[in-house]
Amino acid sequence: MLTHEEVYTFLKKKSTLSHSGLTKESGLPTGTLAKAMNGQRKLTESHLKALEPILLQYGIDDFRNRRATVLSVVNHKGGVGKTTTTINLGKGLVNRQQSVLLIDMDSQGNLSQSLGIHNPEQQLLQSLTQGIPLPVVSLSEGYHVVPSDLELAKAEAQLIKTPSGVLRFRNALAPLLVKYDYILIDCPPSLNIYTYSALVASSAALVVLEPEASAVKGMYNLLELIQDIRESFNPKLKVEGIVMAQVNPQLVLHRELMGKVRDDLKGQPFFKTEIRQNVAIAESQYVGKTIFDYKPNSMGATDYQSLADEVFAYHPS
């Protein structure tokens, strides 16, 4: 049977459905659904029974059986904008009425710190080593995070030694796949056990590259890793796309370098959106906010919303 939470989430997504119309079709007392959507009451079992056949006509069954699109945000090196992209792509998807979970898979904990979470008592580490459910922290409605910090580094040796170590994260993530539209994993700046584990659990890899001469170095290793995981654990794994970040469109050198990167990686999917250099992006992380909350009219907000729109177009809900 339906739950109150399923009805609430479904109708939040299907904002064009008339609450009064659904109330009338299902024979509920006037105002029942409106009050439930405003948080003024919970739908009872009898309400849910009456609503179920009506909502089935509008596709709630497909909605209930949905599974999150899981994207690992990856690169073989640090400082290219992976964490920034994870945070702001996630919020851009929330702006499209999608529910998003971010996961900090890097023991440096930059994603968690950039969102104002320091020294979390419950974090990813315990889920990987003790088998407890992933600890989810709410940032805002439909925008949540599983935090980490330096403690996560303690689990690396244990995961490597254990034959099933690479599968622990996928198993821990499984219960959350029906609760979110998108799960974005901020991977460490290396192709280690954590990146491997993230890719095993993912639908696709989203690669962040800078316009620099060495941008392609390491990409072939990443592509080989993806192929290895596809053959061994996850046959559906693919490259979602490559996004160029920290781009100065006024620099001829950047245009030339990006052209070279596209030539060298011909056959790989590139996003049309480029993330331009914008000081507001760095400032937003310093104050623990997304670019949309810090400067919603900035160039950075425009670019990350464009990227989110592209990703959303690939996976319409």
Confidence at residue 316, expressed as pLDDT on a 0 to 100 scale: 62
Diameter of the chain by CA atoms?
66
Q: Are residues 23 and 88 in the same domain?
A: no
Same domain, 30 and 135: no
Tallying the residues shown for the chain, one arrives at: 317
What's the structural domain count of the chain? 2
Rounded-to-integer distance, Cα 194 and Cα 184, Å = 14
Same domain, 27 and 161: no
Measure CA of the first residue to CA of the last residue in the chain; give whole Å.
22
Q: Is the domain of 153 the same as that of 16?
A: no
As a 3-state breakdown, the chain gives helix, strand, coil percent values, each rounded to 5, of: 50, 15, 35
Residue that finishes a domain, picked among 27, 49, 64 = 64
For residue range 78-110, what is the model confidence (pLDDT) as tens digits? 777 899 999 999 999 999 999 999 999 999 999
Closest Cα partner for 114 from 142, 141, 91? 91
Please indicate whether residue 128 or residue 66 has the higher confidence score (pLDDT).
Answer: 128
Structure tokens at 201: 């659990």
The pLDDT of 176-187, averaged and rounded, is: 95
Q: Which of 23-37, 206-220, 267-281, 300-314 has the lowest mean pLDDT?
A: 206-220
CA distance 185 to 314: 18
Instruction: Quote the pLDDT of residue 302.
Output: 97
Regarding pTM above 0.75, the answer is: yes
| Average pLDDT score over residue span 151-171 | 89
Average pLDDT over residues 60-68: 78
Does residue 181 share a domain with residue 148? yes
Q: Are residues 103 and 201 in the same domain?
A: yes
Q: How far is CA 59 from CA 11, 56, 63, 312, in A?
A: 11, 5, 7, 19
Q: Is 38 exposed, middle or buried (0-12, 13-18, 19+ CB in 10 A)?
A: exposed
Which range of residues forms the domain containing residue 17? Answer: 4-64
pLDDT at 5: 82
- Could you tell me whether strands 137-140 and 143-146 are parallel, antiparallel, or unpaired per DSSP bridges? antiparallel
Query: Same structural domain for residues 135 and 43?
Result: no
**Percent of the chain residues topping a pLDDT of 70:** 99
Assess whether 237 and 101 both reside in one domain: yes
Kindly indicate the confidence band of residue 56, based on its pLDDT and cuts at 50, 70 and 90: confident
pLDDT attached to residue 185 = 98
What is the chain's mean pLDDT, rounded?
91
Band of the pLDDT at 293, cuts 50, 70, 90? very high
Q: What is the DSSP string of 223-256?
A: HHHHHHHHHHT-TT-EEEEEEEEEE-TT-HHHHH
- One domain for residues 58 and 79: no
Which two three-digit tokens encode residue 233?
């654990």
Residues 9 and 107 in one domain: no
d(CA 96, CA 12): 11
Residue 209 has pLDDT above 80, yes or no: yes
Domain boundary among 64, 86, 110: 64
Question: Which of 55-69, 141-155, 245-259 has the highest mean predicted lDDT (pLDDT)?
Answer: 141-155
Is there a single domain that holds both residue 54 and residue 79? no
Query: Please, are residues 49 and 1 in contact by the beta-carbon 8 Å criterion?
Result: yes
Confidence (pLDDT) at 79 = 73
Pairing of strands 204-209, 100-104: unpaired
Q: Which of 17, 44, 64 is the last residue of a domain?
A: 64
| Average pLDDT of the residues in 208-232 | 87
Instruction: Give the mean model confidence (pLDDT) for residues 306-316.
Output: 91
79, two tokens: 């400082």
User: Sign (positive/negative) of CA torsion 60, 62, 67, 71?
Assistant: negative
Q: What is the DSSP letter of 176?
A: G
Structure tokens belonging to residue 101: 């979970």
Whether 73 and 60 map to the same domain: the answer is no
